[in-house]
Structure 1
Amino acid sequence: MAWISDKATSNQLKEHSNNVRPNDLESLLGRQQAIEEKVKGSGRLRRFSTDIKLMFSLIRDYWNGRYRAIPWKSIAAVAGALLYVLNPLDLIPDLIFGFGLLDDAGVVALCLKLVESDLHRYAAWKEHQQATAKTPSDN
């Protein structure tokens, strides 16, 4: 029997995503290090560390206006998932040893599933930007 149902995970992600406003992104970016430290210290979340770094990169590029080829719904889902991870008193409080981060991992996994194609497009765009920056111009 699962400790947290798919429906409960979906409801938590939806609730957090629906409450995200554009100005919340700047605050979220300021908390990146705290979230990444929490992820590093958790066996349940550690496997998502690369994805979470990509999610923060996406939020940063969106916030700074460099990347806007993504629906707000996807940005809100990513931000909502990251804010959920930051909240220690969520569906299963993080203080419950061994189980407290199950819901966090479930919310992140669901978010990744929902925005997978948007993240792939962003990652390709980001890779292209980095390759273009390294290539000498043809002047």
Structure 2
Amino acid sequence: MNWKKNKYRNKKKIDEAYVKAESKKVSDKDIDETLSRQQQLLNKLKHKKWDHIKTEVYQLIEMLKAFKDKTYTKTPWKSISAITFTLLYIINPLDLAPDFIPFIGYLDDISILTFCLKLVKSDINDFKNWKEHQEAIN
């Protein structure tokens, strides 16, 4: 997903349809990029504005890793692509509202995350149940 070439980047409305549309552009390479830039994401989460939703981001990272490692493959591609898009969006400092803009810079990231969480809620629950079961048998 090439953020610099996305000519519609600044013309999009942040909503569930935006997350769905952009998620369709995700590839396997984007998953690799997301995981390779995980430290950038974790550094961003250190900001206090993320405190209320940090746990959910960690959960999405775990789901992406499990998909990539093939330890949990039941998450559908549409959810994996929505998660990947969302995490890359959060990592990217030049998204719809650049992070250096006070308050608004984080608001769009959190909005995108909120829409993603809504889209993949049942898959998150399935993953959590699977993970709890794995921990119980180990």
TM-score normalised according to structure 2 size: 0.84
Query: AA paired with 2:104?
Result: F
Counterparts of 1:49 and 1:8 in 2: how far apart (Å)?
20
3-state DSSP class of the match of 2:28?
A: coil
Q: Once the two structures are superposed, what CA deviation does each residue of 1:91-133 show, in whole Å capped at 9, x if it has no partner?
A: 1111111211100000001100110010000011011111111
In structure 1, the residue matched to 2:123 is: 118
Q: 1:11/1:95 Cα in 2 relative to 1: closer, same or farther (>3 Å)?
A: farther
1:42 positional shift = 4.2
Once the two structures are superposed, the pairs formed by residues 124-135 of structure 1 within 5 Å of their partners are 124-133=129-138
Question: Larger Rg: 1 or 2?
Answer: 1
Unaligned runs of 5+ in 1: 1-6, 134-139
1:12 positional shift = 3.9
Counterparts of 2:119 and 2:30 in 1: how far apart (Å)?
21
Say yes or no: does 1:87 pair with 2:87: no
Between the aligned residues of both structures, percent identity stands at 37
More displaced 10-residue stretch of structure 1: 13-22 or 51-60? 13-22
Equivalent pairs, count: 126
Counterparts of 1:89 and 1:129 in 2: how far apart (Å)?
39
Once the two structures are superposed, the pairs formed by residues 1-139 of structure 1 within 5 Å of their partners are 7-43=13-49, 45-133=50-138
1:35 positional shift = 0.5
TM-score normalised according to structure 1 size: 0.84
1:27 positional shift = 1.9
RMSD: 1.4
Alignment check: 8 A CA contact 1:13 1:111 kept: yes
Counterparts of 1:74 and 1:90 in 2: how far apart (Å)?
21
